[in-house]
Structure 1
Amino acid sequence: MQTTVTFKKIDSSSSLKSYVRKKLDKFDKMLDSPAEAHVVLSVEKIRHIAEITLTCDRLKIHAKENSESMYSSIDALMDKVRSQIKKNKEKVKRHMSGNKQSIKNGSAQLGSQQGSSDNLITDQIIIETIDYKPMDIEDAVIQLDSGRQSFFVFNNARTQQLNVLYKHNNGKLGLIQPRG
């Protein structure tokens, strides 16, 4: 890990530099790729402040701690960085493999419960039926404005295809229509 230690309003100390580097070297095992760490150690009145910006591939961590001793500030800072790295790794692990596994488990459960699978699906889905007739886009806009819904499904009279008219957050209207 490439480490830069900067001192503000405090005399530079090789023992503090080596202490910070020793603490940061433990994170090399946790990180997947080479990382850069910029550590700023400063003193304001009686507060000893340790601040870090750690950059690694797609991960960027910024943390700041203060206490009455510089060594305890560094220790608290490293604990905070460790927890942020673990949190990020768990998030990536959950995102990459958790969703796939939950899909596999869900389909296996549905397959094993053949008799009650129809009840599970219909209990989770609210089915609404609509009557739609061929109409122009202008008529669909009038229908959308008259109702309380944020979208309106209709059969376009010109193209004879199913279209969806919806309201954007900025007040404009959007139209979804199939290609072809």
Structure 2
Amino acid sequence: MQINVTFRHTESSDAVKRYAEDKVSRLKKYMDEPIEANIVLQVEKFRHIAEVSVDSNGMRVNATEETHDMYSAIDMVMDKLEAQIKKQKEKQRNRKPSNSERSQQLMMNILEWSAEPSAEPRVVTSRQIFAKPMDVDEAVMQLNLSNGDFLVFTNRATEAVNVLYRRKDGNYGLIEPVQ
């Protein structure tokens, strides 16, 4: 997380700078890396103004607050930012995926083959599933929670469709496409 603190019309104070950086760094839990935050702290006569602009993967939030005390201005502007970020995240969850996100959440066909030894193998059933974007560790947890022997998912790191399967020895296997 990159944080830039600027003081205007006032002496720079390490205590105030550390306080503002600490408050802004708490936004990590709501936003994806990389995060860039610009903080402007200024004093105009008796007003203490805190302006914060935060950028993270295309999401940008801005807030300004003014009070009689710099610390309370920082606290109030952070409350505003937190509310804005939560609101934007909720909007992202509720909207339909765009075409680029649909390509990441590929619809995969799972084919089950007949196991009759005398007959030629044929497709018995077919169903569609979402290849949900997740990390490999998250996929292992999902496979442990399910009763299935395999899990199809989109790897967040490579953005490719992967298959995680349970081996007979109790370990896991991962099938990744060659790129």
TM-score (norm 1): 0.52
Give the corresponding residue for 2:52: 52
The residue matched to 2:95 in structure 1 has which SS?
helix
Give the corresponding residue for 1:83: 83
Displacement after TM superposition at 1:73 (Å): 0.2
The runs of at least 4 aligned residues of structure 1 exceeding 6 Å deviation read none
Give the corresponding residue for 2:18: 18
1:4-59 deviation per Cα after TM superposition (whole angstroms, max 9, x unaligned): 00000010000011101111111111102211000000000100000011111111
The residue matched to 1:84 in structure 2 has which SS?
helix
Gapped regions of structure 2 (runs ≥ 5): 98-179
Give the corresponding residue for 2:94: 94
Displacement after TM superposition at 1:96 (Å): 3.8
Residue type at the aligned position of 2:23: K
Query: Mapping of 1:63-74 within 5 angstroms?
Result: 63-74=63-74
The residue matched to 1:12 in structure 2 has which SS?
coil
Give the corresponding residue for 2:40: 40
Q: Is 1:62–2:62 an aligned residue pair?
A: yes
Is the strand fraction higher in 1 or 2?
A: 2
Equivalent-residue separation in structure 2 for 1:77 and 1:47 (angstroms): 14
Equivalent-residue separation in structure 1 for 2:73 and 2:79 (angstroms): 10
Equivalent-residue separation in structure 1 for 2:60 and 2:8 (angstroms): 23
Equivalent-residue separation in structure 2 for 1:21 and 1:86 (angstroms): 20
Residue type at the aligned position of 2:59: L
Residue type at the aligned position of 1:93: R
Number of residue equivalences: 97
RMSD of aligned residue pairs (Cα, Å): 1.0
Give the corresponding residue for 2:166: none
1:67-113 deviation per Cα after TM superposition (whole angstroms, max 9, x unaligned): 0000000000000000000000000000147xxxxxxxxxxxxxxxx
Gapped regions of structure 1 (runs ≥ 5): 98-180
> Identical aligned pairs, as a percentage?
43
Equivalent-residue separation in structure 1 for 2:42 and 2:96 (angstroms): 39
Give the corresponding residue for 1:145: none
Query: Mapping of 1:163-178 within 5 angstroms?
Result: none
Is the helix fraction higher in 1 or 2?
A: 1
